[in-house]
Amino acid sequence: MVAAPTPAPKRSPTDKTVIRPDFNLRRVVSQMDALAAVGDLPAVLAILLGLHVRFWHAPVARLLPLLEAAGCSKEILKLLPKAIKGCKPCTDYAEQPPRPMIRATMARFFNHMCQADGFVLNGVSYALVIDECFCYKQAAQLKDHTFDTWFSFFWANWFRFFGPMHYLTVDQEGALAGTECGTLCDKYNISRVLAGSDSAKGVRAARHTRTGLAEAHVRLTKSTMRKLAHSAKTEGL
């Protein structure tokens, strides 16, 4: 019989004991300084790449303040973009963003203006809805692209928590642009805005879209899912 794991001791609110983390960023910075002093730049780049992966493939804009606060030298900080360019998952799963239309809307409060879009990853369909004011989003797996499935998605992931939104911007996918979706929006007093790509006057013109916020977060979600799957495969999970 396998013995049950020993539970961690409970800490008293008055306990002032300092819990030191296993990972010390200042120690890593000191190690990079020592390697840079002897001219071992490949090792410095490898450590920077390891930090990038450890902090969930953080971009330069997020890693730079952390390394600066840890006392990293400017010479090493200049190597950070080069190190991140060597990340294979980030390079393999990078997507070319579309060109958004020059158009501006301003949401005044949460659940005022939302966007919804669907995407497919590894043969599985997903849906995403996002609030334009706070960029809060919900995503879930879809079994198909019928109206009933979309309605279940909105009800389970948005309506029951926040209520119907005032404006909903969607692309011109069949279920979202159909009459059933229009009836649903009329029932819940939602103003539906049909967007999507421009008329195909040419290859370049057809790439413009009015659902840029939703598409940007779709790319972010797909990139996160791919990196998570890559990390799980690497760790043997």
| C-alpha count within 13 angstroms, C-beta hemisphere, residue 96 | 3
Q: Each residue of 195-218: pLDDT tens digit?
A: 765 444 444 444 445 667 888 888
* % of the chain with per-residue pLDDT over 90: 21
Q: Which residues contact 187 (CB under 8 A, 6 or more apart)?
A: none
Residue 10: strand, helix, or coil: coil
Domains of the chain: residue spans and CATH: 25-91 (no CATH), 113-234 (3.30.420.10)
Q: Each residue of 48-60: pLDDT tens digit?
A: 998 988 888 888 8
Separation between Cα atoms, residue 179 and residue 200, nearest integer Å: 24
Q: Each residue of 73-130: pLDDT tens digit?
A: 889 999 999 999 888 888 888 776 666 555 667 888 999 999 988 888 888 999 999 9
Residue 86 Cα distances to 45, 116, 133, angstroms:
9, 34, 35
Q: Please check whether residue 33 is in contact with residue 73, taking contact to mean a CB–CB distance below 8 angstroms.
A: yes
Separation between Cα atoms, residue 205 and residue 31, nearest integer Å: 51
